Amino acid sequence: MSFIAQFIRGAAATLASVAAVGAVHAEGPLVLAKNGSFFVGGKMSEIDGRAVMVGHMYVEYMIPARKTHPYPIIFVHGGLRTGTNFTGTLDGGEGWAQYFVRQGYSVYVVDQVGRGRSPIVEKAYGPARMGDARGVQKRYAQEEKFKLWPQAHLHAPWPGGGEMDSPWVMALSASQAVEIENFHTQQELNRDALIALVDKIGPSIILGHSQAGAFLWPVADARPQAIKAILAIEPNGPPVRAVDFIGAPDWFKYGDVALSYGIADVPLTYSPPVKGASELTFIQQEKAEGEGLVRCFEQAAPARQLTNLRDIPTLVLTSEASYHAPYDHCTVNYLRQAGAKPTFIRLADLGIKGDSHVLMLEKNSKAIAAVIAKWLASAPLGKQAAK
């Protein structure tokens, strides 16, 4: 039996007890050895005659009183969000950060550079942009009504009403934060700040959701011995070209190049090496791999290898009803073609049905966290080949 088959079988067997475990955890105190915050990375810059700190990242940490795992988990949120996505649910309950503390992990939760408690400095970072709360309704809360992608009608576990005046939509909309408009700039700044964080705290597991997926690969590429596992939770994608969702019957509109290095828009280490992204050649599948899926882009053969990512245990996790369901397999395909060995888990294969893209905030968020925890328990952390 393959590793992934064994994992799925074992994970499915544990899901029945997750609710009871979560209830016990919710009733007891969260016992910490240490809790605090700091800023990492950045530099002093001269702006309008003032000395201004730029490029820095806010980090909140929780160290459990009973730490049973050697490597901490760094949580990196997605677009228009902050670290609050991981420190609480929409009804005020505990988030994934506390869940993993209860599992014996130290956790570090960041606010991306230029986001939340990492102040945005437009004269250094360029223009900022605001989100549209209507996107909350269309993409997360009531996607089954708008049906912009093929799997949207499967949505179920949202915790409350999906109308704009619903307390749940209001709560998620309230958590939206102004962000740096230029995604390339975001990747450069967050890559550098996250590398500084890893250098400060030591070997770590890094978890990125959505937009932050594009930060995971450059950080791991720069510190392959320090990143002990990559948890790519519906990571930014698909590779190379963006996809817009336009509803039936065509569903997908393929856009311009968004990730010039395949899975990131900042340089990655390829073998044979490239001097710039223009040396990479991409082709699109003639036919999608299944109904309701996009046609992926991949490298033209022979594919260059992402040698620094090859030995890092990597999980790509996708929910059933999310707008990532049509294309996260493309990220997995790209990584495998480039020599990496990601585990791909579709939650629906484990009987976890109907989640949207903000899966850490839905009613079954603890069950999903348990899947991640079980994968970590079985992954060969810290066994990358010495270089």
Task: Assign 3-class secondary structure to the chain.
Answer: CCHHHHHHHHHHHHHHHHHHHHHHHHHCCCCEEEEEEEEEEEEEEEECCEEEEEEEEEEEEEEECCCCCCCCEEEECCCCCCCHHHHCCCCCCCCHHHHHHHCCCCEEEEECCCECCECCCHHHHCCEECCCHHHHHHHHHCHHHHCCCCCHHHCCCCCCCCCCCCHHHHHHHHCCCCEECCHHHHHHHHHHHHHHHHHHHCCEEEEEEECCHHHHHHHHHHCCCCEEEEEEEEECCCCCEEEEEEECCCEEEEEEECCCCCCCCCCCCCECCCCCHHHCCEEECCCCCCCCCCCCEEECCCCCECHHHCCCCEEEEECCCCCCCCCHHHHHHHHHHCCCCCEEEEHHHHCCCCCCCCHHHCCCHHHHHHHHHHHHHHCCCCCCCCC
Residue 23 has pLDDT above 60, yes or no: no
pLDDT at 2: 53
Active site residue 210: yes
The CATH number covering residue 36 comes to 3.40.50.1820
- Tell whether the model's pLDDT for residue 343 goes beyond 70: yes
In a domain, 109, yes or no: yes
Mean pLDDT, the chain, as a whole number?
A: 93
pLDDT at 13 over 90: no
pLDDT per position as a tens digit, 225-284: 999 999 999 999 999 999 999 999 999 999 999 999 999 999 999 999 999 999 999 999
- The stretch 192-208 carries a mean pLDDT of 98
| Average pLDDT, integer, range 210-238 | 98
Q: pLDDT class for 378, splitting at 50, 70, 90?
A: very high
Neighbouring-strand partners of residue 382: none
**d(C-alpha 359, C-alpha 250), whole Å:** 26
Q: To the nearest whole percent, how much of the chain has pLDDT over 90? A: 90
Give domain status of residue 383, yes or no. Answer: no
Query: What pLDDT does 21 receive?
Result: 37
Task: Say if 60 falls within a structural domain.
Answer: yes
The answer to whether residue 22 scores a pLDDT higher than 70 is: no
Predicted local confidence at residue 375, as pLDDT: 98
Are 181 and 49 in contact by the 8 Å Cβ rule? The answer is no
Tell me: the pLDDT tens digits for 84-131?
A: 999 999 989 999 999 999 999 999 999 999 999 999 999 999 999 999
Classify residue 384: in a domain, yes or no: no
Average pLDDT rounded to a whole number, residues 72-87: 97
The answer to whether position 373 is within a domain reads: yes
Q: Does 385 reside within a domain?
A: no
Residue 386 lies in a domain: no
Strand partners, 271: 305
The answer to whether the bond into 272 is cis (omega within 30° of 0) is: yes
From 166, 210, 319, 356, the catalytic residue = 210
Give the domain extent around 45: 3-378
How many domains are there within the chain? 1
- Asked, for residue 225, whether it belongs to a domain, the answer is yes
